[in-house]
Amino acid sequence: GMGWALLGAGLLLALYTLLRYGLRRAPAPRARAELRGITAIVTGGSGGIGAATALELARGGARVVLAARSAVRGEATARRIRTETGNAEVRFMQLDLASLRSVRAFASTFLRQEPQLHLLINNAGVSAGGTTEDGFSLTFQVNHLGHFLLTQLLLERLRSCAPSRVVIVASRAHCAGRLRLHALGHPPPGPLSTFQDYCDSKLANVLHARELATRLQDTQVTCYAVHPGFVNTELFRHAPLWLKPLLLSLAWLFFLDAAEGAQTTLHCATQEGLERFSGRYFTNCRLQEPWPAARDDRLARALWDASERLVGLVGSEGNPSP
List residues with catalytic annotation: 198
Q: Can you tell me the distance from the alpha carbon of 244 to that of 256, in angstroms, rounded to the nearest whole number? A: 18
Q: Can you tell me the distance from the alpha carbon of 50 to that of 259, in angstroms, rounded to the nearest whole number? A: 9
CB distance 271 to 87 below 8 Å: no
Smallest Cα–Cα separation from 208: which of 268, 266, 280, 156?
280
Residue 206's contacts (CB-CB under 8 Å, 6 or more residues apart) are 168, 170, 174, 225, 281, 290, 294
Q: Can you tell me the distance from the alpha carbon of 52 to that of 263, in angstroms, rounded to the nearest whole number? A: 9
Residue 190 exposed, middle or buried by CB count within 10 Å (0-12, 13-18, 19+): exposed
Residue 302's contacts (CB-CB under 8 Å, 6 or more residues apart) are 181
Q: Are strands 39-43 and 164-169 parallel, antiparallel or unpaired?
A: unpaired
Residue 44's contacts (CB-CB under 8 Å, 6 or more residues apart) are 50, 67, 68, 123, 124, 125
Q: Can you tell me the distance from the alpha carbon of 77 to that of 90, in angstroms, rounded to the nearest whole number? A: 9
Q: Can you tell me the distance from the alpha carbon of 177 to that of 258, in angstroms, rounded to the nearest whole number? A: 24
How many Å is the maximal CA-CA distance in the chain?
Answer: 79
**For residue 83, how many other CB atoms are within 10 A of its CB?**
10
